[in-house]
Chains A and B, each alone.
Chain A
């Protein structure tokens, strides 16, 4: 169990468009989901923590208006990159935690975003 699905896996779009990435927990309820960004040959950097039914908590330096996060249900969180520009090109990864106790994070496959 504990499967996290991320969609799309790869997207290419023009500068100025908005891109939505979905993160779903397929076989468990996730009260908390996390969004990470990974640059080539670098580590995962936490962007924001998404709690179901409440506003996301963003890390320092991450623009809230640029990276819109919605966690409307216990199995779905979305990240929308608004008015994307080439510098937003990166690998975006989500993870999800089960409710209660000290639960580990389970990761999606990631989404490679390329802005032309």
Chain B
């Protein structure tokens, strides 16, 4: 069974400090990992996915297969980063790309 674990429900970080939101997964195969973000009063939107290896809004995430982790990082937090962040996993890769979500981490940036 596939499972996504986000150990921190709440995370508060001072503006300008580094941010790391943890995500660990369980999947027997090669998963695709995503980070979704939900800003206040807005819909869930894709932040980044591991296959793209992009940096979006200063955030990066590296898939570590050995540790089965996909932690989200940003070197310098900004106030507009305050939001709910969900890590998600999908697999198999073709046809039925169901997403399994973690429970989410609410990130609050302290001015």
Which A residues are within 8 Å of any B CB, using their own CB? 4, 32, 34, 42-46, 49, 57, 93, 95, 97, 102-110
Contacts and interface: CB of A to CB of B under 8 A. Distances in A.
Contacts of B34: 104
Interface string B19-39: 000000000000010101000
B98 A102 contact: no
A6 B22 CA distance: 31
A108 B103 contact: no
Interface size class of B (residues with CB under 8 A): 20 to 34
A34 B101 contact: no
B43 A97 contact: no
B86 to A, nearest CB: 7
Contact of B99 (A34, A42, A103, A109): A34
Interface string B36-58: 10000001111001010000000
B30 to A, nearest CB: 12
Q: Which of B51, B96, B99 has the most CB of A within 10 A?
A: B99
A73 B100 CA distance: 25
